[in-house]
Structure 1
Amino acid sequence: MEVQVESAGGLLRRLHVTIPADRFEREFGERMKRFASRARVPGFRPGKAPLKMIQQQYGADARNDAVSELVRTTWPQALDQSKIQPASQPNFQVTAEAVGQPLTYVASFDVYPDITLGDLSTLSLTRPQVEVTDADVERLIENLRKSRRTLAVVERGAQKGDVVALDFEGKLDGEAFQGGKSENAAIEIGERRFLPDLEDGLIGRSAGETFDVEVNFPADYRNETLAGKKTVFTVNLKDVREPRLPEIDEEFLQAHGIEEGGEPALRVKCREALETERNKAVSARLKREVMEQLHDMHPIDVPSGLVAEEVERMRGETANRIGANNPAQKMKPEQLRAMLPAEMFEPAAKRRVALGLLVGEIINARNVQFDPARVEAALANIAADFEDPSEVVQMYQQRQDLMQGLRSVVIEEQVVEALVAGAKVTDEPMSLEDLLKSQNQAQPA
């Protein structure tokens, strides 16, 4: 068997494989014998029909089977002979398949890029220094109380913090516009989930009133026909409800897992939860900085096949988030591709693939071995969020794909920690609120 390697530009390689004519003919002959042994030809007993007649009827099928079998069995040998490691599944093209002549085919695929790591000690990182304060704990407790609040109807003018029910209709130059009308809308005054002028115009108004509110749309409003325009909303205020927070009593404490120790125990639990959240956010921020600088430091070509696989993975993640894979309304693959075209994901997919290759190179260069104890701890943390942790642990342990994914996450964390340890790190004082806000706004690394 003859194998020639062609570099087709970038990471694309073509393997030209030639299989000797006698081997192709033997494989074809074996296929023909099988067809002849079971062929049913009118006027002849099974297996007794003339070979020429069998060839006329089954020759094309026998040739196709022989070609498929030879490509399948010789492809690994050709790879071994060429000493090339593909980064993606190959595309095969048979270029000659006449029985009695050599069989030739071309396999096209991407290879992994050659990566030369830069000086990773030049990484310059900013590490937030965040103290969990009493005010942070109070804010969390207040949020816990708000999550269990009740709403009581009040006979007074609406105030900031009240929840009101209303009908409204907006008009621009006296004409109603699309999206400007709603019935039984609920607005929590001060949350700024509606137009600020509309929310502010509700303050002091009582249930049963009908009135107009002048609303100025922001200049950068997403609807260009309304951006920067002055409108008038006619409002029918139906009721005003005042939020009432529960007392921190025995029932409230038990609802948050506090059986003993009363309110002080709740504060301790809240502080511990906030410290855990802080530690995760600091780690995530450092990881994001490391990955950004690692990516910027190493501009590399990425295999198109791996990018395509990552695009499909990201499309699937997005489809799950928006419910497009819901069995009740699952979309066909072509519909999903039309709604979520590859172009949406390709830049992020290329970045993910590049970072995966760079992290893999660091793992090999520094001989990083994943820590089994950390894998167990990570699994325990995941399971702790479920009602039956042991069931989750068992599920992971029975699924190699889940365990491999967990090991990948852990070893990536180890790589990041090693890079942080060798980098120039500047500590930056920051409030917990600002840290968490920046974390929510940040894109995943």
Structure 2
Amino acid sequence: MEVHVDSPGGLRRQMRVRVPAEQVAKAVDERLNKLARRAKLPGFRPGKAPRKVVEQQYGDSARMEAISDLVNQTYPQALSQAGVNPAGQPQIDITAEKAGEAFEYVAHFEVYPEIQLTALDALQIEKPAVEVTEADIDRLIGNLRKARREFNDVSRATQNGDLVKIDFLGKVDGEAFAGGEGKDVQFELGEGRFLPDLENGIVGHAAGETFTVDVKFPDDYRAENLRGKTAQFEVTVKEVREPKLPEIDAEFLKAHQVEEAEGEAGLRAKCKAALEKERDKAIQNRLKSQALEQLLKANPIELPQALIQQEIPRLREEAAARMNMANLDPAKRSQLLPDALFEKTAGQRVALGLLVGEVIKAKDIKLDTARVDAALDAMAADYEQPDQVKAYYRSRPDLLQGLRAMVLEDQVVDALVAGVTPLEKALSLEELLNPQAAAGA
């Protein structure tokens, strides 16, 4: 077999393969022999037709099937002979195919890029230094109490935090508009469900009152016909209910798996441990994000388009699941979520995958199975029946493989960070866990 590889440019390759005539003839002959043993032809018992009759009837189809088999057999052999590693599936073009002569085809594919990692100790990593404070614990306990709050009817004027039920009708220049009317709408004041002017205008009014509120729509409002305009809303308050937080009593403690004897101190200790666990995870994610982002930025590489095209459907499926579109017809999903939406992210994923693989080779990183077990234990601990969760994961190779990949990526990040001295930056827990909210405050 003759093999020759050309490089049209970049990562593209053309591999020309020539299969000797005698090998083709042998493959066709074997195919005809198989056909002859089971062929049913008029005037002959099954498998008893003369060879010439079988060739006349099935010769062309036998040759095509043999050619297809030869491509499948010789392609991996040719790759090995040429010493190339394709990225993705090839496009095969048959260039010469004639009875009694050699068979030739050309395989078009891309190869993986050659990667020379820049000095990994050049990374600049900022490590958050975060202490879990008593105020953080107070905030968490407050949220736990808020989640179990009850609402009671009151006759006083409304204030932020109250649950109200209202009717409203909005008009612009005296004309009602689509979406500007609501009946028995219930919401909590201060949650930001409605425009600030409307919520602020309701505060101070009691049940049974009807009044008008001027509401200014922002210039970037989603409804183009309302952008920048001021509407008059007629509002009727129908119910006002104030929140009542539960006491930290035996029932409350039991609901959060804390023994009554441990009291509030036990609850605070559990909350602190939970916040510290969340903090450590957030710090690791921050380190990972920085390390991988800088690894990507410091090592620009040419990417095989075939790998990007393979990644796009996975990203589309993830997006469809987040948007509750998983049950849509695939063609409709592709129409609503076209490839162009995912090309940049797909490229980043492919590049990171290749670079992480190169770091693993360069630093000879082996999967730490003890860390996999620890990660599974930590994840299962968040459930009421952790042993069942672990058994389920171990019964699902796909889930277990995902967990192993996550741990291996963490090991890569550890290896990258180990080569540098991180700059510590003091942050509050809120700044660490909710950076966008903290930035906007």
What's the TM-score bracket when you normalise by the shorter of the two chains? over 0.9
Q: Deviations over 1:113-148 (max 9, x none)?
A: 111111222211222111111111000000000111
Is structure 2 residue 385 aligned with structure 1 residue 388? yes
- Give the superposition deviation at 1:440: 8.2
Of residues 241-250 and 295-304 in structure 1, the stretch that sits farther from structure 2 once superposed is 295-304
- Give the superposition deviation at 1:181: 2.4
* Partner residue, 1:399: 396
Is structure 2 residue 299 aligned with structure 1 residue 298? yes
* Partner residue, 1:313: 314
User: What is the distance in 1 between the residues matched to 2:165 and 2:433?
Assistant: 32
- Give the superposition deviation at 1:265: 0.3
Query: 1:11/1:178 Cα in 2 relative to 1: closer, same or farther (>3 Å)?
Result: farther
User: What is the distance in 1 between the residues matched to 2:151 and 2:254?
Assistant: 22
Q: How does 1:116-195 map to 2 (within 5 A)?
A: 116-195=116-195
Could you tell me whether the CA contact under 8 Å between 1:123 and 1:424 is conserved in 2?
no
> What is the DSSP-based 3-state SS (H/G/I as helix, E as strand, rest coil) of the residue aligned with 1:88?
strand
Is structure 2 residue 370 aligned with structure 1 residue 373? yes
Query: 1:113/1:441 Cα in 2 relative to 1: closer, same or farther (>3 Å)?
Result: farther
Could you tell me whether the CA contact under 8 Å between 1:198 and 1:213 is conserved in 2?
yes
* Partner residue, 1:287: 288
* Partner residue, 1:262: 263
* Partner residue, 2:72: 72
Pick from 303, 322, 347 the counterpart of residue 344 of structure 2.
347
Of residues 26-35 and 191-200 in structure 1, the stretch that sits farther from structure 2 once superposed is 26-35
Could you tell me whether the CA contact under 8 Å between 2:171 and 2:180 is conserved in 1?
yes
> What is the DSSP-based 3-state SS (H/G/I as helix, E as strand, rest coil) of the residue aligned with 2:87?
coil
* Partner residue, 2:427: 430
User: What is the distance in 2 between the residues matched to 1:315 and 1:8?
Assistant: 31
Could you tell me whether the CA contact under 8 Å between 1:285 and 1:439 is conserved in 2?
no
AA at the equivalent of 2:357? G
- Give the superposition deviation at 1:48: 4.2
AA at the equivalent of 2:358? E
* Partner residue, 1:6: 6
User: What is the distance in 1 between the residues matched to 2:382 and 2:224?
Assistant: 44
* Partner residue, 1:233: 233
User: What is the distance in 1 between the residues matched to 2:366 and 2:192?
Assistant: 49
- Give the superposition deviation at 1:274: 0.8
User: What is the distance in 2 between the residues matched to 1:354 and 1:46?
Assistant: 57
- Give the superposition deviation at 1:317: 1.6
AA at the equivalent of 1:68? S
Q: Deviations over 1:75-98 (max 9, x none)?
A: 121111011112222232323332
User: What is the distance in 2 between the residues matched to 1:52 and 1:182?
Assistant: 85
* Partner residue, 1:252: 252
Is structure 2 residue 35 aligned with structure 1 residue 35? yes
* Partner residue, 1:82: 82
Q: Deviations over 1:143-175 (max 9, x none)?
A: 000111111111121111111111222222222
AA at the equivalent of 1:114? E
- Give the superposition deviation at 1:439: 7.3
Query: 1:133/1:76 Cα in 2 relative to 1: closer, same or farther (>3 Å)?
Result: same
* Partner residue, 2:211: 211
AA at the equivalent of 2:287? L
The count of corresponding residues between Structure 1 and Structure 2 is: 438
Could you tell me whether the CA contact under 8 Å between 2:430 and 2:438 is conserved in 1?
no
User: What is the distance in 2 between the residues matched to 1:337 and 1:170?
Assistant: 38
For structure 1, list consecutive stretches of 5 or more residues without a partner in the other structure.
Answer: none
- Give the superposition deviation at 1:366: 0.9
Could you tell me whether the CA contact under 8 Å between 2:431 and 2:438 is conserved in 1?
no
Query: 1:441/1:135 Cα in 2 relative to 1: closer, same or farther (>3 Å)?
Result: closer
Q: Give the fraction of aligned pairs with identical amino acids, expressed as a percent.
A: 52
Query: 1:180/1:253 Cα in 2 relative to 1: closer, same or farther (>3 Å)?
Result: same
AA at the equivalent of 2:247? E
- Give the superposition deviation at 1:284: 0.9
* Partner residue, 2:91: 91
AA at the equivalent of 2:257? G
* Partner residue, 1:102: 102
User: What is the distance in 2 between the residues matched to 1:178 and 1:9?
Assistant: 57
AA at the equivalent of 1:283? Q
User: What is the distance in 1 between the residues matched to 2:183 and 2:93?
Assistant: 62
Could you tell me whether the CA contact under 8 Å between 2:166 and 2:185 is conserved in 1?
yes
User: What is the distance in 1 between the residues matched to 2:304 and 2:393?
Assistant: 30
User: What is the distance in 1 between the residues matched to 2:438 and 2:318?
Assistant: 19
> What is the DSSP-based 3-state SS (H/G/I as helix, E as strand, rest coil) of the residue aligned with 1:108?
strand
Of residues 49-58 and 92-101 in structure 1, the stretch that sits farther from structure 2 once superposed is 49-58
> What is the DSSP-based 3-state SS (H/G/I as helix, E as strand, rest coil) of the residue aligned with 1:43?
coil
> What is the DSSP-based 3-state SS (H/G/I as helix, E as strand, rest coil) of the residue aligned with 2:278?
helix
User: What is the distance in 1 between the residues matched to 2:182 and 2:4?
Assistant: 70
Q: Deviations over 1:349-396 (max 9, x none)?
A: 110111111111111111112222111100111222233222222232
Of residues 293-302 and 8-17 in structure 1, the stretch that sits farther from structure 2 once superposed is 8-17
